[in-house]
């Protein structure tokens, strides 16, 4: 059985209907592959680059806690911890307990981490430019806006959101 496919004006095929989650996951895998390839010369994956960037951004006002970093990354602490291990092992990040509350853990960039992040940022900018060249600057900006809106939408965390559908 063949699924009917519409052909929009840009020539790309669109299925008659689709699953938002499945489409986002496919796109996420494709874009991760694209950025992972771009970052390969410095030995980072796109998730690692995002973590290092977020630690740098968050640490402008001081060291960032694991909880703050997990929230900023839209990750649970367990997943974040799993992703931090190789960065700590490679001495790009330092994890240290809080002085007053030993249960709190702080995440800091090391000198090596800052150097790798600086090199990676150049590669990332090149990849961003390539992505914008392929999809168009305006479309890329619109896509980022929609994706950030989704990532920041707290209604999607609510069980009540599923009941209202």
Q: What is the pLDDT along the chain (165 residues), one digit of tens a residue?
A: 444 444 555 556 666 567 888 889 999 999 999 999 999 999 999 999 999 999 999 876 778 999 999 999 989 999 999 999 999 999 999 999 877 777 788 999 999 999 999 999 999 999 999 999 999 999 999 999 999 999 888 888 866 666 665
pLDDT at position 144 is 94
In angstroms, rounded to a whole number, what is the distance separating the alpha carbons of residues 71 and 85?
18
pLDDT at position 145 is 95
pLDDT at position 101 is 77
* Burial tier of 107 (Cβ tally within 10 Å: 0-12, 13-18, 19+): buried
Does the reported pTM lie above 0.95? no
In angstroms, rounded to a whole number, what is the distance separating the alpha carbons of residues 105 and 98?
6
pLDDT at position 4 is 47
Cα 119 from chain centroid? Answer: 18
User: For residue 49, what are the contacts with CB-CB under 8 A and spacing of at least 6?
Assistant: 35, 39, 117, 120, 124
Strand partners, 65: 106
- Six token digits for residue 128: 């961003």
Strand order in the sheet with 105-109: 64-65, 105-109, 93-97
pLDDT at position 155 is 85
Q: Terminus-to-terminus CA distance in the chain, angstroms? A: 30
pLDDT at position 8 is 54
Helix (H) or strand (E) holding 97: strand 93-97
pLDDT at position 13 is 63
């Amino acid at each position: 059985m063949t699924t009917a496919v519409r052909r929009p004006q840009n020539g790309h095929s669109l299925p008659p209907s689709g699953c938002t989650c499945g489409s986002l996951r496919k796109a996420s895998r494709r874009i991760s592959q694209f950025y992972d390839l771009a970052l390969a010369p410095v030995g980072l994956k796109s998730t690692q680059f995002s973590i290092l960037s977020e630690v740098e951004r968050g640490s402008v006002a001081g060291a960032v806690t694991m909880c703050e970093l997990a929230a900023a990354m839209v990750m649970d602490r367990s997943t974040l911890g799993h992703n931090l291990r190789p960065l700590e092992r490679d001495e790009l990040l330092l994890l240290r307990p809080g002085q007053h509350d030993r249960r709190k853990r702080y995440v800091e960039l090391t000198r090596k981490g800052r150097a790798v992040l600086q090199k990676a940022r150049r590669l990332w900018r090149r990849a961003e430019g390539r992505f914008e060249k392929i999809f168009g600057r305006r479309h890329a900006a619109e896509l980022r806006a929609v994706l950030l809106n989704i990532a920041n939408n707290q209604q999607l965390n609510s069980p009540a959101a599923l009941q209202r559908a």
